[in-house]
Amino acid sequence: MTTTTRPANRAAVLLLALGLGTPLMASAENLRFGGNFTDDHSSSRAMEIFQEQLAERTDGEVTAELFPNMQLGGAGENVDQVSTGVIAGTWIGISYLSRTVPELEALSLPFAFDSREEAFELIDGEVGELLDEKLAEKGFTALGYMELGFRHVTNSERPIEAIEDFEGLKIRLQPNETHLDTFRAIGANPVSMDINEVYGALQQGVLDGQENPYSIISTKRLDEVQQHLSDSGHFYDFIVVVANRDTFDGLSEEHQQAVQEAMDEAVAWQRQTAAEEDEAARETLIERGMEFTPIDADTRAALREASQGVVDDLRDKIGAEVVDRVLEELES
């Protein structure tokens, strides 16, 4: 179960996460994970499975303490905390690591994936191994990749029916340069912003729209401040669970194996659950009053054509190795 400790404010929570609350919490094998996903998101529930399995597999010698729902700050803060070893790990949208490991942007090619099965085959194969190595070079150990899902556009201005409807829309995106460049290419005005600021910015009219998987739009209640929903599916996005490499390497080999096996079980559960919940989340958004406008084949083709220069730019930016490997895998 997720930790039930409910301090009065974030400062108190952070003290506990830092291990400054009690001697017990300072144990080197009490692993603290921070996340920005809500408690009811499938990834947070999967982390509870990881927590339970880890304790069971190690007879309580290694435990995991979970701080979901931005208890320790936003996504960028969680990445920094893992990088410096303040916390053991985080489960995070992969884009939040792309500024540290630019090669991760190769997973963000616009309109590249036709199905989640195709995406998982890619990340579970040689491309995933190569990206794990890049993460390790920056001090992270990749423990697993969950589904965040296909990303879709919402906005408060107009239905998206043609590429021209993107023109000038201020749309929030994650801090991923490929994502931002793609939306510039289709005529939008993209804004990089941490997820913890998005609801307020939409509510105040600072932004016209945002893009996320249906599940995030639903659990973050963004339908309360957005009217129009599309099925643009412009990127497929992963949630990566990463640990501080030194912290992970400091565990015994037996405990490292237990951590990995517990995470493997959690990831498998989350992938299946996320797929089941995706369509349900879209229907929930429609039932709550969002106006859903599917994007037809002609518009999708126009969006794909307009954004293809992003691929060439990315090849120049991060090198051809990973980009070409992704394209080869998707074409095979």
33 pLDDT above the threshold of 70:
yes
Residue 237 structure tokens: 């996005």
CATH of the domain at 216: 3.40.190.170
1 pLDDT above the threshold of 80:
no
Confidence class for position 194, pLDDT limits 50, 70, 90: confident
CA 17/CA 326 separation, integer angstroms: 37
* pLDDT for res 19: 52
Read off the pLDDT of residues 213-236 as tens digits, 9 standing for 90 and up: 998 899 899 999 999 999 999 999
140 pLDDT above the threshold of 70:
yes
pTM of the model: 0.81
Domain shared by 116 and 65, yes or no: yes
CA 198/CA 172 separation, integer angstroms: 7
Smallest CA-to-CA distance from 232 within 302, 290, 309 is with 302
Beta strands in 224-278 (DSSP E): 228-230, 236-244
Q: What is the mean pLDDT of residues 238-245?
A: 98
Give the whole-number percent of the chain exceeding pLDDT 90. Answer: 83
8 pLDDT above the threshold of 70:
no
CA 275/CA 113 separation, integer angstroms: 15
CA 189/CA 209 separation, integer angstroms: 10
**Mean pLDDT over the full length of the chain:** 91
Of the given ranges (103-117, 153-167, 204-218), which has the lowest mean pLDDT? Answer: 103-117
Domain shared by 221 and 309, yes or no: yes
Residue 107 structure tokens: 């997973």
Q: What is the mean pLDDT of residues 8-21?
A: 49
Domain shared by 192 and 293, yes or no: yes
Helix crossing, 320-331 with 126-137: angle to 10°? Answer: 160
Is residue 94 assigned to a domain?
Answer: yes
Residue 13 structure tokens: 């929570």
Q: What is the mean pLDDT of residues 71-97?
A: 95
Q: What is the mean pLDDT of residues 4-22?
A: 47
Is residue 293 assigned to a domain?
Answer: yes
3-state secondary structure (DSSP) of residue 65: strand
CA 147/CA 194 separation, integer angstroms: 19
Domain shared by 87 and 214, yes or no: no
DSSP lists the bridge partners of residue 244 as 140
Domain shared by 139 and 165, yes or no: no
Read off the pLDDT of residues 263-293 as tens digits, 9 standing for 90 and up: 999 999 999 999 999 989 999 999 999 999 9
196 pLDDT above the threshold of 60:
yes
Residue 162 structure tokens: 């043609």
Is residue 5 assigned to a domain?
Answer: no
Is residue 4 assigned to a domain?
Answer: no
Domain shared by 190 and 315, yes or no: yes
Domain shared by 176 and 100, yes or no: no
CB atoms within 10 A of CB 164: 11
6 pLDDT above the threshold of 90:
no
Domain shared by 124 and 187, yes or no: no
Is residue 245 assigned to a domain?
Answer: yes
Domain shared by 301 and 196, yes or no: yes
Read off the pLDDT of residues 143-176 as tens digits, 9 standing for 90 and up: 999 999 999 999 999 999 999 999 999 999 988 8
Q: Which residue segment(s) compose the domain that 162 sits in?
A: 152-235+280-331
Residue 50 belongs to what H/E stretch? helix 42-57
Is residue 319 assigned to a domain?
Answer: yes
Is residue 1 assigned to a domain?
Answer: no
Domain shared by 21 and 160, yes or no: no
Is residue 204 assigned to a domain?
Answer: yes
Domain shared by 57 and 135, yes or no: yes
Domain shared by 142 and 52, yes or no: yes
Confidence class for position 310, pLDDT limits 50, 70, 90: very high
Q: What is the mean pLDDT of residues 44-73?
A: 97
Strand duo 30-35 + 63-67: pairing? parallel
Structural domain count of the chain: 2
CB 67 within 8 A of CB 34: yes
Amino acid at 182: T
